[in-house]
Amino acid sequence: MAHIAPVHFKKLVRVFELSGFVLDRKEGDHLVYVKGGTKRPVVIPTYKQVPVFIIKNNLRSASISHGEYFRLLKI
């Protein structure tokens, strides 16, 4: 399995939007995405390179598997 690497925040936003999340609000340099049926919102910082630990935490919050993440990243 491929390893998760830091990505630009725009790529990460695209992954979550393809997964059904919608932008709820912008707080400073963070974008907050929500989706019905998820327990907590996904917060994406507007960094050039979003760190791996943030990506993994957001994937866990969104119940997105690693395989699904890589599939959506390629779209």
End-to-end CA distance of the chain: 18
Which domains, from first to last, does the chain contain? 9-74 (3.30.920.30)
- pTM for the whole structure: 0.94
Residue 7 is given by DSSP the state: B
Q: Residue 56 corresponds to which tokens in the numbers above?
A: 């993994």
Hey, what amino acid is at 28?
G
Q: Please list, in sequence order, all residues whose beta carbon lies within 8 angstroms of the beta carbon of residue 25, skipping any fewer than 6 positions away.
A: 32
pLDDT tens for each residue of 3-60: 999 999 999 999 999 999 999 999 999 999 999 999 999 999 999 999 999 999 999 9
CB 15 within 8 A of CB 28: no
Dump strand ranges (E) for the chain: 22-27, 30-34, 42-45
